[in-house]
Amino acid sequence: MVNINWTVIPQMINFIVLIFVLNIVLYRPIRKILKERKTKVDGLSQGIETVSRQAEERDQAFSQGIRDARTQGQKEKEAMIQEAASEEREIVGRIMDQARADLETVKSRIAKDVDAVKAALERDVDAFADAITQKILGRTA
């Protein structure tokens, strides 16, 4: 059984002084260190969130830039293809015109040559007829 006597008061005073001293010497510095650590961790967490958000924004901007560049490249490619097709049609048209002109020139030369050969053959038709007649009949006409 516990006896309550006059020693309880010094023990209570001792206990209060001990709590006061421990509070000053031990608990306050520990609470201060914990508070500083919590502040530092919160600051680092906010910094991490900020950097993560900035990295995400940069990544999105980069992705958007890539998409824009691809779209622009595709448009330029299509424009170049259309320009090349137009140029090809122009070149083929010029070649076809030149081929038609050359064909007409060749046809006119052939017609002239045919007329010249006809005229030469018509001049020599009597001579050829006499030669054939001589060969067939065996005598001169």
pLDDT (tens digit per residue) in 53-101: 999 999 999 999 999 999 999 999 999 999 999 999 999 999 999 999 9
> Is the pLDDT score of 141 beyond 60?
no
* Cα(98)–Cα(106) distance, integer angstroms: 12
Q: Residue 3 carries which DSSP code?
A: P
Do 134 and 141 contact (CB within 8 A), yes or no?
yes
pLDDT of residue 131: 82
> Is the pLDDT score of 123 beyond 60?
yes
pLDDT of residue 73: 96
The domain limits of the chain are: 9-108
List CB contacts of 9: < 8 A, sequence separation 6 or more: none
Residue 89 vs residues 82, 83, 113, 122: alpha-carbon distances, Å:
10, 10, 35, 48
* Cα(127)–Cα(7) distance, integer angstroms: 171
Structure tokens at 104: 């007409």
Mean pLDDT, the chain, whole residue set = 91
Letter for the amino acid at 71? T
List CB contacts of 140: < 8 A, sequence separation 6 or more: 130, 134
